Structure 1
Amino acid sequence: MPKTKTHTGTVVRADGEKRVKLHMTATTWVASPKEYYYRDSGQRGGGHGRARLLLDTIKPIEKVPE
């Protein structure tokens, strides 16, 4: 079962910027099972490409009151 995404952030890739949903672990921000970014630098780990998470764009997802 996938983890609930708690934050959003902007990822810069070769083809432009994209807003992604994230959840946090002890050392990374996780966008998908094969895409994660280090919390201290925003550098992508474990995959191809030179994508980078802009750490100053990370914001919590607002919960809508019911």
Structure 2
Amino acid sequence: QLELLRQQLALFEAAEEHAEYAADVTLSLCLPSERFEAFAAHLIDVTNGRVAPEGGEEKLFAKKLS
């Protein structure tokens, strides 16, 4: 499941920030907030409901414009 999830990140402009390994694996991800609902639905679909995405804190980043 972990590698399947990691393969999906680029589809939603998501990046892995941190992985916590215990009985379950918890990933902290960074992705555009407007993509979260579609990302969550996609992960639930491709993992047959075995992955449960949860929204968390919101971070703001500055982006340099060319």
Normalized against structure 2, the TM-score is what? 0.37
Structure number with higher strand proportion: 1
Normalized against structure 1, the TM-score is what? 0.37
Structure number with higher helix proportion: 2
Query: Which structure carries more relative contact order (alpha carbon 8 Å, separation 6+)?
Result: 1
